[in-house]
Amino acid sequence: PSYIIIGAGILGASTAYHLTNEGEDVLLIDRNDPGQATNAAAGIICPWLTNRYNKAWYKLVEAGAKYYPKLVAQLKANGESTTGYHQVGAINVFDTDEKLDRKMEVALKRQASTPEMGEVTRLSKVETKKLFPPLKDVYGAVHISGAARVNGAELRDALIRGGKAKGLEFLNGDASLEVDDSKVTGVTVSGRSYRAEKVIVTGGVWSRQLLESVGLNFLVKPQKAQIVHLQMPDTDTSKWPIVLPPYQQYMLTFGNGKIVVGATQEDDVGLDNRITMSGVFEIFEKALKVAPGLASATYVDTKVGFRPFTPGHLPIIGQVPGYDGLYVANGLGASGLTSGPYLGKELARFVMNQSVSINIKDYDVANAFG
Ligand code: FAD
């Protein structure tokens, strides 16, 4: 192939999809590591209420959310009806009028230049509880109609299927890099060699080991996340909005009474993918404080995923310094389902030497090598 992509989370899948859509010859390889971020992710696409003021980061998540409807329409037009994406809106809930006023102001200001946010509405306590009945009755909310949920695994699979329809080759296996001097010539999987002009590494937190094997010190760090799946019997939760409570916790529903609450943010535990008592306890405790009505829900499962963070918590994308033919994108952190499909499109354009809309210098790969 002309291109080999290592890692088929949301980023690699999107890159492969966009490259094959341009008629390129692509081999996508994935090892299906336990803890793949895309598999465990919650799926909130609502970047506009953030308190984080890093411009380069915000540009990516904003463009990412904007790109979704277009990508989903394109997939549907090509027969991919299961994309896992639904615009169900989000409510940012607050227990005082003062906090609500402040957030309304921020939201309205952003909405002026961001039509994809849809309607911004202030909701009373009664209106808020009506939209998400398990909530405690003390919250008013800022409602954003353009917010969406996405099932990361479903979208990833739709992108891979869409790519395959255009000739994408997919291989399940453990890839290592083949290097000749400072030129990357291809990869090895299960003792077999595959040659390519360009190799793209989108291996999430596992990219560190892969790049280490050719002597590179790649500074991606895993942040472990545990996330709880619940089930509300006999309840149609399919259209409930995403709930963004005041602290780092959230809840969102899928069809068939499924509710997802999370997630922990555990630094410095490496790639330990166990479900722990303290992790689940923290999630339950915070969720029940905000939504006591969840107490009677069925506990189904806890998933574990590793958010890939690069220095400064800023994504990186580009060619690896000192290595011909080697490209890397990483660091999608806690917002990669939002930015990933868009960044994959940009990465595909970049490796094809086409013009890109992002300023590559803002996401300089050199920052991620020690
Ligand atoms: P991954 O999805 O981790 O994929 C990397 C893949 O590369 C893996 O499958 C791995 O097996 C493969 N790989 C690595 N090395 C090799 C090799 N040598 N050979 C073969 N394969 C290899 N983002 C949002 O926008 N909204 C959310 O609501 C949200 N919620 C989240 C909740 C949780 C619990 C978690 C963990 C993350 C959440 N995120 C969210 C963030 C988002 O999931 C990630 O940023 C994103 O999925 C990262 O995608 P990725 O493709 O870079 O990595």
* Interatomic CA distance for residues 109 and 265, integer angstroms: 30
Residue ranges around ligand 1 (CB below 6 Å) = 6-12, 29-33, 36-38, 40-44, 152, 174-175, 202-204, 206, 210, 225, 227, 262-263, 305, 307-308, 332-338, 340
What distance in angstroms lies between residue 308's CA and the mean position of ligand 1's atoms? 7
How is the chain split into domains, by residue range? 3-42+153-220+311-368, 87-147+221-307
Residue 286: predicted pLDDT: 95
Angle 58-287-60 from CA coordinates, rounded to 5°: 10
Q: pLDDT tens digits for 8-65?
A: 999 999 999 999 999 999 999 999 999 999 999 999 999 999 988 899 999 999 999 9
pLDDT at 249: 86
Of all protein residues, whose CA lies closest to atom 36 belonging to ligand 1?
Answer: 305
- Complex ipTM value: 0.99
CB 168 within 8 A of CB 155: no
SS3 of residue 244 by DSSP:
strand
Atom of ligand 1 nearest to the CA of 10: 51
Domain 87-147+221-307 class in CATH:
alpha beta
The third-level CATH classification (topology) of the domain covering 3-42+153-220+311-368 is: FAD/NAD(P)-binding domain (3.50.50)
**Closest CA relative to residue 10, chosen from 239, 315, 258, 324:** 315
Residues of the chain with pLDDT under 50: none
Q: Out of 36, 155, 275, give the residue to mutate to test ligand 1, the one with the largest number of ligand atoms within 8 Å of its CB.
A: 36
What pLDDT shows up at residue 52?
87
